[in-house]
Structure formats: C-alpha cells, structure tokens
Amino acid sequence: MRSKQWFANGCLLLAAFLWGSTFVAQAESTVGAFTYLACRSAIGALFLLPVIALLDANRKKRGTFSPMTDKDKRTFLLAGVVCGVVLLTASVLQQTGIDRGTDPGKAGFITAMYILIVPILGLFLKKRVTARHWICVGFGIAGLFLLCMTEGLTEFSLSALFSAQTLTGLSVQTADLFVIACAVVYAVHILLLDKFVPNVDPVKLSCLQFAVMAVLATVAALWLEKPTWAGICRAWLPILYAGILSSGVAYTLQAVAQRDADPGIASMLMSMESPFAVLSAIVFYGITTGVPQLPTPYEWIGILLMFAAILISQYQPKKTTR
C-alpha cells in the first residue's frame, strides 16, 4: 500500500510541474480566456481517446477487461459532467477575478488556498486530519505568501515584508471574491475526484471531463469572444502544450493518483505548481532572452518552505513492535 501512495504522490508532483510550466505557455497565448479553455480542453479530450483505446485493448488481451454496467455508466456520466462543470467554473471564476483587477500574484496565492480549504471541508466529511498535516499547511501558506505576494519588494527585511504596502495587498477587494470562490471550487473538485475515482476509470473520467469543458467553453467563446481561426493558429503552440500536457496528462495523473492519495496531501502536492511556475519561467526566459531573472530571496525562502511542507507531509515514523 505504501508503494502505491509513493507512486500517487509522484504523479501529483509531476502534475504540479506540468501545471506550473503551463503558466509560461498561457502567458504566451494571444486568444481569449474561453477560446483558450475550449481549445486546450478539446485537445486534452482528443489526446486521451487513443490512450483509452490502447488501455482497453491491453486489458482485453490480459483478460481483465470488463464492460460497464448500466449503473457504472450512470456513475461515469455523472462524474464526468459534474467534474467538468466544476473545473470550468473554477477556471472562469479565477479569470473573472483577474480581469476585474485582482493582481495575478495575489490570484495565485488565493487560489492555492485550497490547501487549507480541502482539509477543512474534509472535516465535514469525517476525514481525519493530523496535527502534522496542519503544520504542513502552515508552511505551505507561508511559502505561497512569499512566492506570490512579494513582487516589487527590493528590501529583504521583516519590516519590508510586513510593511503597510505588503499587508494592504492582503485586503479583500470585490474582484478577489471571485478568486476566493475559485479556491473553494477547486477544493470541491479535489474532493469530488476523491469520491468518484474509486468507482470509475480515471482516464475515461478525465476525457469526459474535458469534453464537457470544451463544449461549454466553446459556447461561451462564440457568445462572448468571437474567436477566429487565424487567431487560434497564431497561438497554436501554447494551446497545444496546455492541451496535451496540462489537460491531457496532468489532470489525468491527478485523477489516477487520487485513488491512493489522501485529498489533503494531494492538495498540498498540487500547490507545488506555484514554485514550479517560478522555476519554469526562469528557465524559459533565460533560454529565450539569455538573461534569466533569478528568484528574489523571498521567493527562494518560499520555495524552500513549500518543499519542506511536502517532505514533512510524507514523513511517517516507523512503527515499533514490542
């Protein structure tokens, strides 16, 4: 069982890395938010179709394939539609908050608060949360604060870190309410996967989830953004990268991993997308411009705090026998 948990945690860390690197791709995109979501979701769903076919063929070859019963089909359809709607809702809420004035760094910090919301919601679902987990959440929130909320700070000191300018950034504005709602919805999505993936094929669930997102986002894009084929073609590389790696691969890894991972630990591992986003930007812009912008001391400490939270969360003392 322990080996399954390590594999699941490794999948979640890889997913976090792919999501973090996608921020760079998304920044390079030149299409509207709904157009971007529609395209990447459609690509993610199409990418998974041959994967599903290969997996089913392998199961048939080994004699382990079993067709879904009517009850299984109903559960699968419910899971795919609900997860797709919830994930799209979270993305739209985040984008709305940013469009209405929430700073992107602050949006990243608030969104990642799902690492706190997931265990709190889990308490209502009678999921046990240990003291060590709460300590890890504290480390993670502190790391996220240093990563996301210190942009523009040049003086490295406690007085600068807790100055009125920095703390004012934590005040809640109207636009921030959308991002706060986004964090809650992301937490709900994590808990929904925890409920559904033991009973459905996670790869098929991921595919249906993206198909639902693609349909809904396409309707919204045609209504609100009037996308053009020429515009989509100009942004083909970031869309393709996000569609295959962030949607097709990363979200599937999340669904597969959450069969064996505790949802609280899963949320903490997935929040590593923030430090991975910082590190990916350094590598990308260093290669393209030749002048890498290294993290500030605050960001380095934030990265180390988040890695420390992950290491502490994975530690399990050996049981002694008498």
Encode the chain (322 residues) as per-residue pLDDT tens digits: 467 777 888 888 888 888 877 766 665 566 777 888 899 899 999 999 999 998 888 888 888 778 888 888 899 999 999 999 999 998 888 878 877 777 665 666 777 778 778 888 877 777 777 777 788 788 888 887 777 666 666 667 677 676 666 666 556 677 778 888 988 898 899 889 888 888 888 889 999 999 999 999 999 999 988 888 888 888 888 888 888 988 888 888 888 888 777 777 787 788 777 777 777 777 776 766 776 667 777 778 887 887 787 777 665 555 444 4
Whole-number pLDDT of residue 29: 60
Q: What is the DSSP letter of 235?
A: T
Residue among 251, 302, 238 nearest 276 (CA)? 302
Which residue ranges make up each domain of the chain? 2-58+70-314
Whole-number pLDDT of residue 1: 46
DSSP conformation letters of 275-293: HHHHHHHHHHHHHHHS---
The two three-digit tokens of residue 290, written as one number: 């030749």
Q: Please report how the helices 263-270 and 2-28 are oriented relative to each other, as an axis angle in degrees rounded to 10.
A: 40
Whole-number pLDDT of residue 89: 92
Are 253 and 11 in contact by the 8 Å Cβ rule? The answer is: yes
Place of tokens 């990642």: 112
Whole-number pLDDT of residue 13: 84
Residue among 245, 292, 250 nearest 270 (CA)? 250
Are 143 and 302 in contact by the 8 Å Cβ rule? The answer is: yes
Residue type, 258: Q
Whole-number pLDDT of residue 152: 64
Burial of 119 (0-12, 13-18, 19+ CB in 10 A): buried
Where does the chain have alpha helices with state H?
A: 2-28, 33-62, 70-99, 104-111, 114-124, 131-148, 158-161, 164-168, 174-196, 202-224, 229-234, 236-241, 252-257, 263-270, 273-289, 297-314
Output the CA angle 103-105-108, nearest 5 degrees.
Answer: 110
Residue among 200, 152, 202, 178 nearest 48 (CA)? 202
Residue among 301, 258, 305 nearest 15 (CA)? 258
Please give the radius of gyration of the chain, using alpha carbons only, rounded to the nearest integer.
20
